[in-house]
Amino acid sequence: MLTVNAMMRMTAVAAVLLGFVAYSPHASALPGGDLPGELVFGGMPRTYQLHVPAGLDRPAGLVLNLHGAGQTGGEQAAMTNYNAIADQNGFVVAYPDGIDFSWADGRGASVPDRQGVDDVGFLTALIDQLSRDYGIARGRVFATGMSAGAFMATRLACERADLVSAIAPVAGTLSAAFSCAPSRPVSVLQMHGTADPVVPFNGGTMLGRGGYSDVVAAPAMAQRWRDVDRCPAPVDNGHGFTAAGCAGGSEVVFIQLDGGGHVWPADASQLSGQFFATHGR
C-alpha cells in the first residue's frame, strides 16, 4: 500500500510529465518593486506610486501615505522613507497624488475642495482595487499623511472607519466645521509640533496652499478621538498621552513634539509602522 507521501510524490511527478502544475494563489511571492499606478475615478485619471516588498507572499496590510500640499506621492515616499517601513512590516504602501497637489480634506480651502472632488471616494476605490489585487485582509488598511495629507487621512477615517483600522496623522488635524462620526472605533497615533507655523498646535486660523481655514487644536483633536473611541482615562507617556483599552480594542496615542515645527519627525515612519502592525482588526 502506498503511503500518503509516496502518493503525493507520484502526483507531483505526473503533473510535471503532463506539463501542468496546480495553481495556488499564495504558492509564490508577489512581484516586488516600485510601480506607477493609475485609477480612473469620477471620470479623471488619478495616479499613485506603489511599493510592494520583495519576496512577500501575503501582505500584512495596506498603508496609504498621503502627501502634503504642494507635493506629490513620489516626494512623500522620498521624505518619509516609508518603503523601508513597508519592507520591515510586510506592508504594501501606496502614495496617491492629490489634484492640484492637494486634497479635498474638508477645510474648504483647497482647489479640489472648492471643486467638489470626492477624494474620500477616490481613496476608497484605491483601497478596494489594491485589496483585491494583493489579497489585503479586511481590517488591515491604514493611513498616514503629512499636513494636508494628515487632514485627508483623518477625514478618511471619520467617513470610512469600516475600511480604515488605524491612522497616523502628522502635523494636521481636522476642519473646525467638520463633524467626525466614524461608524466604528479607529486607532489613532497623532503627532504634532507645538511650534508648528502652518497648522497651529492650538488650532484657529491657518493659511494653507488654497487659502485660510479654521482648524481644530491638536490636543482637542486627540481628545475627540478619545471620546469617539470611548477610551478610559489616558496615561501620560512623557510627550502627551496614551489611551489604551478603548472600544473595539482601539487605542489613541498623542505625541506632542515640544518646540517642533511643521515637519515629519525622524521617527514618525518607524513609530507609525509599529503602530499599524499592532492595530489591525
**Cell triple for residue 137?**
485582509
- Mean pLDDT per block of 10 residues along the chain (281 residues) reads 34 32 43 92 96 93 98 98 98 98 96 96 98 96 98 98 98 96 97 98 94 97 98 96 98 98 98 98 95
154 domain-assigned:
yes
Domain residues for the domain of 55 are 38-277
20 domain-assigned:
no
225/218 Cα distance (integer angstroms): 11
Query: What value, to the nearest 5°, has the Cα angle with vertex 17 and ends 11 and 20?
Result: 75
DSSP state of 184: S
Number of domains in the chain: 1
Residues in Cβ contact with 186 at an 8 Å cutoff, skipping those fewer than 6 apart? 157, 161, 164, 165, 166, 167, 225, 228, 229, 250
Q: Would you state the pLDDT for residue 57?
A: 87
Q: Would you state the pLDDT for residue 32?
A: 81
Q: Would you state the pLDDT for residue 8?
A: 34
Residue 229, domain CATH: 3.40.50.1820
145 domain-assigned:
yes
9 domain-assigned:
no
159/140 Cα distance (integer angstroms): 17
Q: What residue type is 32 in one-letter code?
A: G
69 domain-assigned:
yes
208 domain-assigned:
yes
237 domain-assigned:
yes
Local structure of 189: helix, strand or coil: strand
14 domain-assigned:
no
